[in-house]
Amino acid sequence: MKKLVLLVAAAFMCASLAACGSSSNSSSSAAASGSASAGASASASGSTEADEPSTTDGGTLTMGTNAAFPPYEYYENDHVVGIDAEIAQAVAEKLGMELKIEDMDFSSLITAVQTGKIDMVLAGMTVTEDRLKNVSFSDSYATGIQSIIVAEDSEIASPDDLQGHMIGVQESTTGHIYCSDDYGEDSVVAYTTGANAVEALKTGKVDAVVIDNEPAKAFVAANEGLKLLDTEYVTEDYAIAIAKDNTELLDKINNALKELKEDGSLDEIIGEYIKAE
């Protein structure tokens, strides 16, 4: 219960103060704040120098995320918490590494993992064919559904009704990509965060917001006058993104995820944040 209240409070802060905008980049360490991730740069540069530590030789495991996406990642007392942060922590423990979290714009995450600024992305990130051209994905750890938020008195009742309306999305997300494809770029307005898109809906700048269902529920709970449509738009798989050449880390993460699935830890983490209805 407490967690839900905090979660709603976090979502409310994001939506009402636009506190999660692009300028709020910061980093938060889930464990002790380690030194810069030596392993990350070694893995990304594809360096073959023998004395450079490999990403998985202990040390720091850096997760990149966009911490305005409750219940997967959001701020609680200056710390990034949520399902992804806890999964990353559990994976880091299995790898004997210390987790560090870097908060950045969602649209920067793929480049950050490609260039070795971070070792992995956990950001409720959906596996897509296009992203697979640039990064590797772990096995999936959760399912997401693109959902539609509208004003309580809106005439929009299904994805088909979005035609001819202005749709707010979060930049570079699957919601952004699908809506641009289905309804045309001129009907889509991309915001840095989902919270900013919700703010635009509240002030009538857009007629609907398309975003993943769990953050959508949090935003609707925290903002009066909005409702979530029952109709689902697209179902998708969330996974951890890793640099293409870092197959060693990919294998280790997949093994860790497998163990966390088998011993029930993964379900436990998700169940802490998402209560069965």
Residues that bind ligand GLN (CB under 6 A): 66, 69, 106, 123-126, 144, 170, 173-174, 212
**Those residues with Cβ within 8 angstroms of residue 58's Cβ, 6 or more apart along the chain or in another chain:** 96, 97
Q: Of 127 and 257, which CB lies nearer to ligand GLN in the complex structure?
A: 127
Q: Are strands 234-238 and 188-191 parallel, antiparallel or unpaired?
A: unpaired
Query: Rg of the Cα trace of the chain?
Result: 18
Is-contact 202 32, C-beta < 8 A? Answer: no
Of 187, 192, 193, 195, the residue nearest 220 (C-alpha): 195
Tell me whether residue 95 or residue 127 sits nearer to ligand GLN (CB atom): 127
CA triple 212-236-20, angle to 5 deg: 30
Minimum CB separation from ligand GLN for residue 52, in Å? Answer: 31
Q: How far is the CB of 217 from ligand GLN (least distance, A)?
A: 14
Residue 170 CB, nearest distance to ligand GLN (Å)? Answer: 5
In the bound state with ligand GLN, the residue whose beta carbon lies nearer, of 59 and 215, is 215
- Least separation in angstroms between residue 112's CB and ligand GLN is 14
CA-to-CA distance for 30 and 28, rounded, in angstroms? 6
Residue 59 or residue 70: which is nearer to ligand GLN going by CB? 70
Cβ-based nearer residue to ligand GLN, 54 or 128: 128
- State in angstroms the smallest separation of the CB of 267 from ligand GLN: 20
